[in-house]
Amino acid sequence: GESLSTAGPIPGHARVSSIMSSVVVATKAAPAIRRPVLSSGTAPRPSRPSHRIVTRRIERVPSASSSSVVASVGTVERREELKGIQTGFGRGGMPLKGGGTLAARLMEGSDVKIATEVMTESFRGSPDERPRARVAKYLLDQLESGPDEACLVGVDEASDEVVAVVTLSFSQAARGGADAAGSWGGAGSGARSLPSPADAPYLCNMAVRESARGRGVAKSLLCACDELVREMGGADIWLHVRLSDPIATGLYRGAGYLVEATEEKKAMMFFKQEGDGIALMRKELVPGGSNSIFA
């Protein structure tokens, strides 16, 4: 099976993502879903985002003074340019095992229902499982988050059905800020002890529909992520993954990610299983290059 989840957005200086950047590939990365703010002004006790495979992500808390969670980064002109790149992005004809091809593109409003099913199904029964309504809210928020974040869907070109979803974030603001509350209240990327660089693209909440696993869907979607990041001016991609998830870890290693650091704790607050821990992984896309997405 392919249930891959990245331990990430719901992960620079960041916190671990809850629906871990996981690819449910047979996989961690389920994106973090925003938590509502109580009338008293305090955020409810954080619960972990859902995600299976290797990447994890932390939830974001909307600002009481603004409908937007992400503070603008970069010039107006550059932001509009990046939005255009994301909106126009698309890759098709990616071959799958057993026949058929996969296409990857930015998620649209009409994709939210099926993407919610894919993500909910992928993380069901895992430490990152989240209520369907919460997953749907997270994905709806992604429609308004560009260019700081982009949610891509993988589409089986034979059936025109969405079979996978993954999220990329491109700014610290999108992940909650380096000093965001210091708890589940911010959207940081990964465990605070293993932060990803603030200016680096961060992958999380990868999920693949159970019926589509084992065909290379996750690997193809990861390749599409690489291409989008390059087009936007990125030089590498980071993610977090559970050390206890060999399938997700193997997926990312096979896709060119290398372990930068690991953390193991007996009773890690972000994980339910004792002895579980996380690995911070990175894939270099431009040798010796630097990220200049919002420059």
Question: Residue 125 has what pLDDT?
Answer: 87
- pLDDT under 70: residue ranges of the chain: 1-71, 176-192, 265-276
Which pLDDT score is estimated for 4?
52
pLDDT attached to residue 17: 38
Look at residue 106 in the predicted model and tell me its pLDDT: 97
Q: With beta carbons less than 8 A apart as the criterion, state whether 58 and 204 touch.
A: no
* 242 to 36, 55, 249, 279: CA distances (angstroms): 27, 7, 8, 6
Sequence-separated (6 or more) residues with CB below 8 Å from residue 289: 235, 236
Q: What are 52-108's pLDDT values in tens digits?
A: 443 433 333 333 333 344 557 889 999 999 999 999 999 999 999 999 999 999 999
DSSP states of 22-60:
-EE---------PPPPPTTS-PPPP-PPP--SS--B---
The model's pTM is: 0.73
Alpha carbon 7 to chain centroid, angstroms: 8
pLDDT of residue 128: 81
| 171 contacts: CB under 8 Å, gap ≥ 6 | 70, 73, 148, 198, 199, 293, 294
**Pairwise CA distance, residues 165 & 204, whole Å:** 10
CA quadruple 243, 248, 253, 258: dihedral, nearest 10? -40
